[in-house]
Amino acid sequence: MNFPMIHTNFWDAVLAIPIVMILTQITKIIPIPSPFIPAVAVFYGLLVSVFFSHPHNLLGGIFMGYFYGYAAIGNYSALKTSFLAFRKKQDKKAKYD
């Protein structure tokens, strides 16, 4: 079995992941239950990868699409956790000042 040749570069990560994050946030305007949001991000990652990043390599596009989707989920989670921790620290600091 031959594995697909996947050519990725810095711009795929710099553009694809933020695009997936933005599309996912736009989709949140529609009332979708929270447990389905990660699946939406993976779906957008697959779309971006298959149709834009790797249009001539379906297996490579599917493979990288999962990475784009899950990287967007991880980035969002890390940003949200950091923001909430920072805000909690500021609230605690303001409470004792």
Q: What does each C-alpha distance from 82 to 65, 89, 95 come to in angstroms?
A: 26, 11, 20
Contact 69, 12 (CB under 8 A): no
- Which pLDDT score is estimated for 7? 65
3-state SS track over 43-97? HHHHHHHHHHHCCCCHHHHHHHHHHHHHHHHHHHHHHHHHHHHHHHHHHHHHHHC
Q: How large is the angle between the packed helices 37-48 and 17-27, nearest 10 degrees? A: 140
Q: Phi, psi (5° rounding) for residue 3?
A: -80, 150
Pick the residue with more confidence: 14 or 36? 36
Residue-wise pLDDT tens digits, 24-79: 999 999 999 999 999 999 999 999 999 988 888 899 889 889 999 999 999 999 99
- Which pLDDT score is estimated for 56? 87
- Which pLDDT score is estimated for 94? 77
Listed by start position, the domains of the chain span 11-96
Taking 90 as the threshold, does the pLDDT of residue 20 lie above it? yes
- The pTM assigned to this predicted structure is 0.81
- Which pLDDT score is estimated for 4? 66
